[in-house]
Amino acid sequence: MDDGTRNALRGRRLLIVEDDYMVALELVRSLEEQGVEVLGPVGSVEDALALVEQEGARMDGAVLDINLRNKRVYPVAEALAARGVPFIFATGYDALVIPEAYAHVPRCEKPLDKALLARVLARVH
C-alpha cells in the first residue's frame, strides 16, 4: 500500500456494515491502521439504519456487506444515498445478482483484498 492511499483514508469516518464478527474485526483493524475512524461495525440492517440516522451526513463513506442475516442491505444503501454519503459493497455476491439501481456501486469481492479495498475507498467521495 503506498503512502498516497494511506493518506487518502486518514481521518475519514467510515461506516462498516458486516454481519460476521471476525470478518468485520479484520476489516476494522485494517482500516484503523490506515487512520480511518470506524463507525460500527454493525451487523444488521436495523443497527446500520440507526447509525446512519444518528450520524447523518457526517459520514465520509461506508463499506456494506449485502446479505445481513438473510436480509438485504439495500435500505441502508438508500439511506446513505439520500444523504449523499458514498459507499461500496464488500460481498460474496456476483455482480449479476445486484439490482440494476446499484450496478454502478464499486464492489469488492470476498475474501477481501484489503489493499484493493483501500484503493477503491480512496476513489469514492
Partner 1 sequence: MSNRSAFSTDPKPAREKELFEILVESSTDFAIFTVAPDGTATSWNISAERVFGYAEGEIVGSSADVIYTPEDRAAGVHEAERVEAGRTGRAEDERWHRRKDGTRFWASGVMMPLRSPGEGFVKIVRDRTEHHRAEEALREREERFRLLATSVPQLVFRTAPDGGRSWASPQWIDFTGLGPEESLGHGWLEAIHPDERMATLERWGEAVETGEYYLEHRVRRARDGEYRWHQTRARPVDPAQGAASEWVGTMTDIHELRGLQDRQEVLVAELQHRTRNLLAVVQSITSQTIRKAASLEEFQTEFEGRLRALGRVQGLLARLDHHGIDLHMLLEAELRAHGDGALESGKISVDGPPVALPAISAQALGLALHELATNAVKYGALGQGTGRLSVRWNIERGGAEPVVSLEWRESGVTLPGAGLPMRKGYGSELIERALPYQLRARTSLEFGPDGVRCAIAVPVGLNGAGPGHG
Map residue 85 onto helix, strand or coil.
coil
CB of residue 19 to partner 1, shortest distance in Å: 6
Grid cell listed for 18: 458486516
Q: Could you give the CA distance from residue 85 to residue 11 in angstroms, rounded to a whole number?
A: 16
- If the CB atoms of residues 112 and 124 are measured against partner 1, the closer one turns out to be 112
Segment near partner 1 (CB under 8 A); pick from 8-16, 52-60, 107-115, 116-124: 107-115
Here's the x/- map for partner 1, 7-36, by CB under 8 A: it reads as -----------xxxxxxxxx----------
Reference 25, options 33, 109, 123; nearest CA is 33
